[in-house]
């Protein structure tokens, strides 16, 4: 059963950014989004960092070449609410294009006031849900593949 704060991993063929992320992180996934609402008909609203910054989107799963939804079954309702609240409180945070370049040139170009997709999800879980998805990883080099496990 899909729940709030579950993670949706995706890949889209033909998207330059999607292809580059998958290539440089050696993964078949290129994007991670946090589910922040579930509509009456089962539609999903996700919060996702992309070229427009951290924004909510209603998604159609048929629009992706590959999609998988993962849950952390031991999250409490309070943690799930905290994760979603963190996402909403950080809506409109700009996208960190230079952070993405870090994966290519292996130099930390991360901007502390901007985010990319995996970083926003990691921070929402850590700060909003008091739940550490990964330990001992530099968030400047955190990719969807890292969160996938």
The pLDDT tens digits for 90-126 are: 999 999 888 777 777 777 777 889 998 888 998 999 8
Q: Which two tokens stand for residue 39?
A: 């509509």
> Given a cut of 70, is residue 135 above it in pLDDT?
no
Q: Which pLDDT band, with edges at 50, 70 and 90, does 42 fall under? A: confident
* Angle value at C-alpha 80, between 113 and 65, nearest 5 degrees: 75
- 49 SS3 class: strand
CA distances from 137 to 2, 4, 96, 147 (A): 27, 25, 18, 11
Q: Which two tokens stand for residue 63?
A: 């629009």
Burial letters for 125-146: b for 16+ Cβ neighbours within 10 Å, e otherwise? bbebbebebeeeeebbbbbbbb
> Given a cut of 70, is residue 139 above it in pLDDT?
no
List the one residue out of 87, 24, 17, 86 whose CA is nearest residue 50: 17
List the one residue out of 26, 122, 41, 127 whose CA is nearest residue 82: 127
pTM: 0.87
**Tokens 């960092």 identify what position?**
49
Give the integer Cα–Cα distance in Å for 13 and 58. 20
Sign of CA dihedral 66, 31, 33, 80: positive
Give the integer Cα–Cα distance in Å for 105 and 48. 24
């Amino acid at each position: 059963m899909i729940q709030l704060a579950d993670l949706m991993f995706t890949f889209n063929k033909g998207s330059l950014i999607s292809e580059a992320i998958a290539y440089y992180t050696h993964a078949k996934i290129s994007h991670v989004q946090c589910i922040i609402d579930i509509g009456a008909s089962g539609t999903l609203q996700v919060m996702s960092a992309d070229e427009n910054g951290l924004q909510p989107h209603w998604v159609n799963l048929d629009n992706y070449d590959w999609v998988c939804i993962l849950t952390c079954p031991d999250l409490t309702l309070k943690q799930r609410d905290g994760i979603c609240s963190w996402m909403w409180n950080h809506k409109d945070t700009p996208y960190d294009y230079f952070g993405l370049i870090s994966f290519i040139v292996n130099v930390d170009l991360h901007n502390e006031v901007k985010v990319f997709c995996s970083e926003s999800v990691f921070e929402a879980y850590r700060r909003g849900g008091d739940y550490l998805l990964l330990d001992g990883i530099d968030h400047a080099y955190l990719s969807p593949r890292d969160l996938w496990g």
